[in-house]
Amino acid sequence: MITNLPLKDNPKLDALMAKMEADAFVPIWWQLADLNSMRAAVNDHGPTHVKIVANIASKLYMLLDEAGVPMSIVKDHGMDSHDAQVVVIMASMLHDIGMDVHRDKHEEHSLFMAYEYLMDLYAEVYTAEQRMIMIGETLHAMIGHNSNKRCLTIEAGIVKVADALDMTKWRSRSIIKTGKVSIHALSVSAIDQVHIEKGRSKPIGVEIVMNSSAGIFQVDNLLKHKLLKSGIHPYMEVSAHIESEAKDQVLGVYNL
């Protein structure tokens, strides 16, 4: 289901991923979410989106961890960095399953769908007490991807920002083909690449490469809003610029 994730050695996560691979729930949830995103004429919320978000979230987690930023589950519950990584990856993989029910308020729908699944899944590697902590933290990281929700943990902030950074033009192709074009689809189609690496002065550096200034809607209206609600914005530096043959001179470099 998930390939090429940049993960550190994490036996707990390996065991949980193996169990997810063995059942059919999650892939079907992703497929149904993809179908309803098409019905609702919004950008992709299916398996490709989930895999990209999980990949980005893993990169963000590792950059923060390497910079010594304490994860909330470690600081508040005395658990370890392996548990923090489990929260980040599992929340990334399950954050949009509520799209199966409806696009509207899908973040809330995701919670009741994931609760029982996580109860069973986390029983593989956690005690009863640890399981309740892990479920609560994972559900918080899932609901936190809602644009207007304030993230209260580092893990939730990672998932929120990872979700926002899946913003390149691939996400709008299916919608544009249907003729249901919106500013969301047009602005996404203007973004060619998102590069994530260690920042020059902060743990995380994000470079957004656009083919026109239409992409600024995604950066300034959507990414900026989510970033400020994530709680991890002090650890990030974000810039955007245009690279195209017909260079749009309205914008030089935009620093968020």
Instruction: State the CATH number of the domain containing residue 32.
Output: 1.10.3210
* Structural domain contains residue 28: yes
User: pLDDT band at residue 170, thresholds of 50, 70 and 90?
Assistant: low
Quick: pLDDT tens for 59-82. Answer: 999 999 999 999 999 999 999 999
User: Three-state SS across the chain?
Assistant: CCCCCCCCCCHHHHHHHHHHHHCCHHHHHHHHHHHHHHHCCCCCCCHHHHHHHHHHHHHHHHHHHHCCCCCHHHHHHCCCHHHHHHHHHHHHHHCCHHHHCCCCCHHHHHHHHHHHHHHHHHCCCCCHHHHHHHHHHHHHHHHCCCCCCCCCCHHHHHHHHHHHHCCCHHHHHHHHHHCCCCHHHHHHHCEEEEEEECCCCCCEEEEEEECCHHHHHHHHHHHHHHHHHHCCHHHEEEEEEECCCCCCCCCCEEEC
> What's the pTM?
0.88
Quick: pLDDT tens for 111-162. Answer: 999 999 999 999 999 999 999 999 999 999 999 998 889 999 999 999 999 9
Instruction: Give me the domain span that covers residue 20.
Output: 11-255
Query: How many domains would you assign to the chain?
Result: 1
* Structural domain contains residue 4: no
